[in-house]
Structure 1
Amino acid sequence: MTDVTWGIASTILAPTRDILQFAAYHLAAGAHRIYIYLDAPNPQAFEFLDAHPKIRVITCDDKYWKQRKRDRPDMHQVRQTANATHAYNRRAEVDWLIHMDADEFLVADRPVAEILAERPADPHATRIRPMEQLSGNPSAFKGFIPSGPDRARITADLYPTYGAHVKGGFLSHLAGKVFVRTGLPKINIRIHNVFQDGEMLDCHDPQDGIDLAHVHAKTWEDWIAAYRYRVTKGSYRSELGPNKPYEKGGLSMHDLFTQIEQDAGEAGLCAFFDEVCADSPALRKRLADHGLLHEAKLDLVSHLGQHFPDYTGV
């Protein structure tokens, strides 16, 4: 047992069930506090969240942003960082805080609090690297490939057609998310880093024993439904950089998807998805051969029933 406590800050725009499953999973994992900022009013989710003693929920409506003395930021990434920093600067209720999205789940080989209790006093932050779910198999994940000379070769082995253009084989971020000790002055939390007084905070990397399970593409239908937003405003937007310098043949995800659509339309996107995202015996074997196939049973329905037994929505 340890007295160390940890919590999560999350800005969420999602169906009620997804919000409650995210919260329930992390309550079961040992979170002492979960700070949820509803990016748009959701009275049903608010009622369930507000009733739980370990959850603090805020609806980010016009009144909220007026109280923050600012206009509502247009970009959701800016709203996320503003809210995560707001959660950090509250009266401290936990020893460690991490900003996460509703499709990310901490998977640890022992209690998260025990792992954090073993961190030395310095540095004040520790990075949790991601693993990305294989579409169609909620228990199978592709592992993170560390940066280095072997990453490009391994990625090309795993994804023969598109691996040269997909950094580390992940559709979404490789940076992971960061736990930071609370109580530090002049902290600003960003999506994948933490800054103190304008300087990036030193960060232990990676934190052994914890992975960030990212459910980025549950199914083809889910992925293509989110695709247009992601390619214009989200994780595939044009201002994000390429997988390697342009002069060395690199492409950003935005560039890659634009090229695929121009050449083959939605059928091309589907072929990309089948190679890079979809669960298949062939991909699982290639991942296993490289030690990159991970199993994690999230049991989201079970945790939902345990922590929100009165919720009966679908």
Structure 2
Amino acid sequence: MLIAASTIKDTVQHVRRFVRGNLGGGIDHLVVFLDQPRAPGQDEVADFLDREPHVTCVRAGRGWWGEHRPVGLNERQCTNAGLVSHLLADVPEVRWVFHVDGDEVVRIDPDVLAAVPEDVGAVRLAPREAVSKAVWEREPTLFKRLLGEADLQALHQRGAISAPTNQALFHGHLQGKVGVRPSRDLWLGLHKAITAEGTQAVTHADERLELFHYESYSGEEFARKWGAMTTSGPRVSLRAGRSAVADAVREVLEGEGSPEARHERLLALFEETTQDDAEALVDLGVVLEADPTSGTHVPQPLSADARSTLQRRLDEARGSDRSAYFRGTSPQGGPGAAPARDGGRRRSPRDAVRRLLGRAT
């Protein structure tokens, strides 16, 4: 049985996609922590999750953390995921626990997972990132994958990316996410599993273990997601190029003008820093066409004993100091990462926001 732990604050529409996609893609049960359960729209999200038989919803507000709420979103995410993995370490029917975000959907080949050597305690999901377009009339169905040097050079020569690197191609993380065999000797980070000695655990990787990431796939989604992320507390852990985007978004949100004017600036910032050249990606044949929400997996229900154990242990953890379940987030960068270079089609995020605010010369 596969479990996924997530810490989210999102719209009910996106949460429906998240639940449908992950349960269809191979997950049997979701443990969802609502990061700000009193925020607007979250009652509707909680009501939806409570009605789902394959979901355990935890309202992770003040009562959940007590006096021990981590300030940073990344730390809250990793703490919650690590807690779930450790709470299920002695539940035999649970074979794997994954850490995924609310804008991610897994697609896991069960035969590949079953063939992972018993002495390997962690697996890595290969990232697939939604192509960013000004507007998607429906849910995204084109996804980028990590590319080799020849494809990256072709995209760069066409002006579709600012440098021939996967870091220039992807807007979100390049590392994918991980799952672990639940154990009290392994901790789940953002993009890695961590051993009791504090080192990164060896992970088994296979292209048939996939993670579809709905990262800033449209102008409206860019404005919603980055606006929420930059106001969630201290800066989340981001690689260098995207930290500049977060700073630019924050500058727009804290700037002068009406809400409508700021929103238009965010859409313009999206166009200059994030929107993909979808035509070039399709023409060069470097994207996958898929509907991650159409998986055919039939989730298996947790046994009554396992569900009771999980709920009881979550209740016992409420309000306690759970810092022991956090062993760090993730290193910067990732496979294929390289320092971003100026030039090409996209402008520097910081230069773009200055131009949009009328500060450029």
Percent of aligned pairs with the same amino acid: 24
Give how far 1:15 is off: 1.3
For the residues of structure 1 that align with 2:247 and 2:152, how far apart are their CA atoms? Answer: 22
Residue aligned with 2:207, SS: coil
Give how far 1:172 is off: 0.4
- Structure 2 residue corresponding to 1:277, chosen from 269, 275, 279: 275
Alpha-carbon spacing, 1:161–1:299, altered in 2? closer, same or farther (3 Å) = closer
* Counterpart amino acid of residue 153 in structure 1: Q
For the residues of structure 2 that align with 1:32 and 1:79, how far apart are their CA atoms? Answer: 23
Query: RMSD value over aligned CA atoms?
Result: 3.4
- 1:23-46 CA distance string (max 9 Å, x none): 122222332211111112233332
Equivalent residue for 1:312?
none
- 1:150-181 CA distance string (max 9 Å, x none): 68635524644623587151000000001211
* Counterpart amino acid of residue 212 in structure 1: L
Equivalent residue for 2:75?
78
Task: Report if aligned partners of 2:8, 2:32 keep a CA contact under 8 Å in 1.
Answer: yes
Give how far 1:270 is off: 4.4
Equivalent residue for 1:144?
146
| Counterpart mapping for 1:258-297 below 5 A | 269-273=269-273, 277-278=275-276, 280-286=278-284, 288=285, 292-297=286-291
In the superposition, the TM-score normalised over structure 2's length comes to 0.65
Task: Report if aligned partners of 1:125, 1:202 keep a CA contact under 8 Å in 2.
Answer: yes
For the residues of structure 2 that align with 1:142 and 1:159, how far apart are their CA atoms? Answer: 16
For the residues of structure 1 that align with 2:61 and 2:248, how far apart are their CA atoms? Answer: 38
For this pair of structures, how many residues does the alignment match?
A: 270
- 1:131-156 CA distance string (max 9 Å, x none): 1111345111111126xx66863552
Give how far 1:94 is off: 1.7
Give how far 1:51 is off: 3.3
Residue aligned with 2:116, SS: coil
Task: Report if aligned partners of 1:133, 1:142 keep a CA contact under 8 Å in 2.
Answer: yes
* Counterpart amino acid of residue 139 in structure 1: T
| Counterpart mapping for 1:84-163 below 5 A | 84-91=81-88, 92=91, 93-108=93-108, 112-134=109-131, 135=133, 136-137=135-136, 138-145=140-147, 153=153, 156-157=156-157, 159-160=159-160, 162-163=162-163
Alpha-carbon spacing, 1:86–1:281, altered in 2? closer, same or farther (3 Å) = same
Give how far 1:119 is off: 1.0
For the residues of structure 2 that align with 1:222 and 1:11, how far apart are their CA atoms? Answer: 19
* Counterpart amino acid of residue 6 in structure 2: S
Task: Report if aligned partners of 1:140, 1:296 keep a CA contact under 8 Å in 2.
Answer: yes
For the residues of structure 2 that align with 1:207 and 1:181, how far apart are their CA atoms? Answer: 16
For the residues of structure 2 that align with 1:90 and 1:193, how far apart are their CA atoms? Answer: 19
Equivalent residue for 1:298?
292
Equivalent residue for 1:30?
26
Residue aligned with 1:144, SS: coil
Residue aligned with 1:199, SS: coil
* Counterpart amino acid of residue 254 in structure 1: S
Task: Report if aligned partners of 2:155, 2:161 keep a CA contact under 8 Å in 1.
Answer: no
- Structure 1 residue corresponding to 2:12, chosen from 9, 12, 16: 16
For the residues of structure 1 that align with 2:69 and 2:178, how far apart are their CA atoms? Answer: 25
Higher relative contact order (CA 8 A, sep 6+): 2
For the residues of structure 2 that align with 1:233 and 1:64, how far apart are their CA atoms? Answer: 17
Give how far 1:55 is off: 1.5
Residue aligned with 1:72, SS: coil
For the residues of structure 2 that align with 1:8 and 1:107, how far apart are their CA atoms? Answer: 12
Equivalent residue for 1:253?
242
Tell me which moved more, 209-218 or 75-84: 209-218
* Counterpart amino acid of residue 71 in structure 1: H
Residue aligned with 1:9, SS: strand
Runs of 5+ unmatched residues, structure 2: 253-264, 298-361
For the residues of structure 2 that align with 1:34 and 1:120, how far apart are their CA atoms? Answer: 25
* Counterpart amino acid of residue 37 in structure 1: F
Equivalent residue for 2:216?
217
For the residues of structure 1 that align with 2:19 and 2:36, how far apart are their CA atoms? Answer: 17
Runs of 5+ unmatched residues, structure 1: 243-251, 304-314
Equivalent residue for 2:312?
none
Give how far 1:269 is off: 2.7
